[in-house]
């Protein structure tokens, strides 16, 4: 008989239309509203976004700052930094290039501010440039030094016979060449069911694994949950599993030598994406010289098992 566990932090209330708790990228599927913003939250946002978005924000900020000061220089009189061309657009671009030289403290010498007012404005802009680039440098360091898990999970989860018992399996590996030291896995099943009050309620169960910890992981690791009598899935027929409103929540912890500390990564699979009677294709083999060849493209590859009949 399967024994329920306490809420791991997801919440007991559910709904018929409720989506998965954890997205495939490991983020929690939560929309925040009426959230107060602050500089610290902005820093946290810029640390965690993709590199494309990060440099997009840097470029946007660079253009906005230079455009603002270019407009100020143009309105106050472009003649104080360069010879007027008679064209507002060309004068704006000259002011923009002067602003870019000032904010980056490059100062090629072709343009220079004349008069006290322009000197004060350009000095203030140079200060903003120094602070901005210091902030960006701190962000770059934070992005590179931030501990980040390099685990890659298989896109699919399979159900197949293993040692004569139906087992749910998924696979993981390291995205990098670093060997994962002492990885351990904790797997929780969340089943949404209708209570006596006709409300959807989340029920949580700890899934026992064939192995939940190994010493190191240089290749792949197939996580196996045997559906035996003590499993919360034992009461269902194998064909019914993919129809359940359930999600398998995964937490992986291991020691990363690059950061000299433990790192964590969460992931999840939904039961309605379960593949029946398929097996993972081996993702590594040995070459003629005896080296182990690990093919990252095969992490999610499966074959349909042949029937015994």
Would you state the pLDDT for residue 183?
Answer: 93
Query: Which residue ranges make up each domain of the chain?
Result: 39-145, 151-304
pLDDT digits (tens, 9 = 90+) for 74-133: 989 888 888 888 888 998 999 999 999 999 888 777 788 888 898 899 899 999 999 999
Architecture of domain 39-145: Orthogonal Bundle (1.10)
The domain defined by 151-304 folds into Immunoglobulin-like (2.60.40)
DSSP per position, the chain: ---B----SS-SB--TT---SB-TTS-B-----S----HHHHHHHHHHS-HHHHHHHHHHHHHHHHHHHHHHHHHHHGGGTS---S-HHHHHHHHHHHHHHHHTT---SS----SHHHHHHHHHHHHHHHHHHHHHHHHHHHHHHS----EEE-S--EEEEETTEEEEEEEEEESSSSPEEEEEEEEEEEEEEE-TTS-EEEEEEEPP-S-SB-SEESSEEEEEEE--TTSTTTTS-TTTGGGS-EEEEEEEEEEETTTTEEEEEEEEEEGGGPEETEEEPP-EEE-TTS-EEE-GGGTT-EEEPPP--
Would you state the pLDDT for residue 154?
Answer: 94
pLDDT digits (tens, 9 = 90+) for 256-308: 887 778 899 999 999 988 999 999 999 998 998 999 999 999 999 999 987 65
Would you state the pLDDT for residue 282?
Answer: 92
């Amino acid at each position: 008989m399967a024994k329920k566990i306490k809420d791991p932090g997801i919440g007991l209330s559910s709904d018929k239309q409720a989506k998965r708790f954890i997205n495939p990228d490991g983020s929690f599927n939560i929309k925040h509203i009426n959230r107060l913003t602050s500089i610290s939250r902005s820093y946290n946002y810029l640390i965690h976004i993709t590199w494309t978005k990060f440099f997009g924000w840097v470029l946007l900020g660079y253009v906005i700052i230079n455009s603002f000061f270019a407009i100020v220089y143009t309105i106050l009189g472009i003649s104080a930094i360069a010879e007027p061309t008679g064209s507002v657009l060309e004068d704006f671009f000259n002011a923009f290039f002067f602003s870019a030289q000032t904010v980056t403290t490059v100062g090629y010498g072709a343009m220079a501010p004349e008069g006290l007012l322009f000197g004060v404005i350009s000095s203030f802009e140079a200060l903003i440039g120094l602070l901005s680039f210091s902030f960006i440098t701190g962000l770059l360091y934070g992005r590179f030094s931030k501990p980040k898990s390099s685990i890659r999970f298989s896109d699919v989860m399979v159900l197949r016979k293993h040692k004569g018992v139906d087992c749910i399996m998924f696979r993981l590996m390291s995205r990098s060449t670093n060997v994962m030291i002492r990885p351990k896995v904790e797997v929780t099943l969340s089943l949404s069911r209708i209570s006596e009050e006709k409300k959807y309620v989340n029920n949580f169960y700890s899934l026992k694994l064939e192995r939940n910890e190994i010493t190191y992981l240089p290749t792949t690791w197939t996580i196996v949950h045997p559906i035996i009598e003590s499993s919360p899935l034992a009461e269902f027929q194998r064909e019914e599993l993919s129809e359940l409103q359930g999600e398998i929540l995964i937490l992986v912890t291991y020691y990363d030598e690059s950061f000299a500390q433990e790192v964590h990564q969460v992931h999840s699979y939904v039961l309605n994406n379960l593949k029946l009677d398929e097996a993972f294709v081996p993702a590594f083999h040995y070459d003629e010289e005896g080296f182990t060849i690990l093919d990252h493209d095969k992490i999610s590859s499966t074959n349909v098992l042949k029937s015994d009949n």
